[in-house]
A = this chain, B = another copy of it.
Amino acid sequence: MPRLTLGIDLGGTGIKFGLVDPMGRLLRSSKISTPSKSDPLEVVNALVAQAKAVLATLPKRKVRGIGIGAAGDIDPKTGSVRLSPNLNWRNVPLKALISRRLHYPIVIDNDANAAAWAAYVVEAKRRVQNLLCVTVGTGVGGGLVLNGQLYRGSTGSAAEIGHITLYPDGAPCPCGNQGCLERYVGARAMAAEARRAIEAGESTVVSKMVHNDLSKITPLILEKAARQKDRLALHLWSQVGEHLGIGLASLINVINPEWIVIAGGLSRAGNLLLDPVRRTILKRSFHTPASAAKLVISKLDQELGIVGAGLLAH
């Protein structure tokens, strides 16, 4: 049996754990919920306890290390979290806090970087050189593999594609900018748009599907409605796909990737999302790089984060 790593996906609501082999196969996984958001020590306690429980099932020599993908602005060199809005953390020396309690090599990176690395190793099987991984969940995350290596940029801050400007005069974003891509793409943006339309009197099966509780609108509901040819739902998917496509067209002209892997909650809608994305890319980016960019829906999806974190520790 090859040696394994423990991959950990540390998010604002849950912490996922999994044993990962060198090929990126996930051998066992578990999940706990993230404790009281603003206290790093409480989170570290819970994380360490569960990690110990998982690692106790293996002889120590079988474990190569621990990889952690965390949401936020991570310094991969020191393993500290500079800022994480999801965890409500600022300057938390995560690696130092964990190293004291778990005596394995520890690697910490941004969760979207970890996801991109898993997409590269497991889904693209390292057969391409340049890959962009886009996670369209609540918001929009990104990771880049360039020339066959995870690209982190100068301070580990690269690939924050949810915060490229889509509309310079657009809606304010908590990041300080206006009109970020994330304001227009993602579960939050779609639900808000659906609520606005329904409150403005638009008739749609969505109202009935959520029993008129508009806080219950999710991408899954909107997908079901669109499959029933609901006009509002179809329009929302077309709009979100176009917005994502505008952002990806710019990125294709700058990054010129061979693969664009799309993961996250919205990716499960498949062609409802991909068709308008593809149309927009062909219209808005240069012919040569647009033809070279293959759009792929991630199969690992929810597991990308754990698998990627585990692979980074191999």
Contacts and interface: CB of A to CB of B under 8 A. Distances in A.
A146 interface: yes
A286 B254 contact: no
Given A167-B168, A177-B283, A253-B164, A289 B246 contact: no
Given A147-B147, A177-B284, A284-B165, A256 B289 contact: no
B289 A154 contact: yes
A160 B73 contact: no
* Most central of A168, A178, A246 by chain B CB within 10 Å: A168
Contacts of A149: 147
Interface in A118-166: 128-130, 142, 144, 146-147, 149, 151-161, 163-166
Interface string A249-270: 1110111111000000000000
Copies in the complex: 2
A64 B285 CA distance: 37
A175 interface: yes
* Most central of A144, A250, A289 by chain B CB within 10 Å: A250
Interface residues of A, number: 51
* Most central of A167, A177, A293 by chain B CB within 10 Å: A177
A165 B250 contact: yes
A176 interface: yes
Given A147-B149, A283-B176, A288-B82, A253 B155 contact: no
A292 interface: yes
A56 to B, nearest CB: 37
Given A130-B153, A163-B286, 16 more contacts: A144-B254, A146-B147, A147-B149, A154-B292, A154-B293, A155-B256, A157-B253, A158-B255, A158-B289, A160-B254, A160-B286, A163-B250, A164-B250, A165-B166, A176-B283, A177-B249
A175 B128 CA distance: 27
Contacts of A175: 286
Interface in A255-307: 255-258, 283-289, 292-293
Contacts of A157: 253, 256, 286, 288-289, 292
B256 A154 contact: yes
A287 B289 CA distance: 31
A286 B176 CA distance: 8
Interface string A93-114: 0000000000000000000000
B155 A289 contact: yes
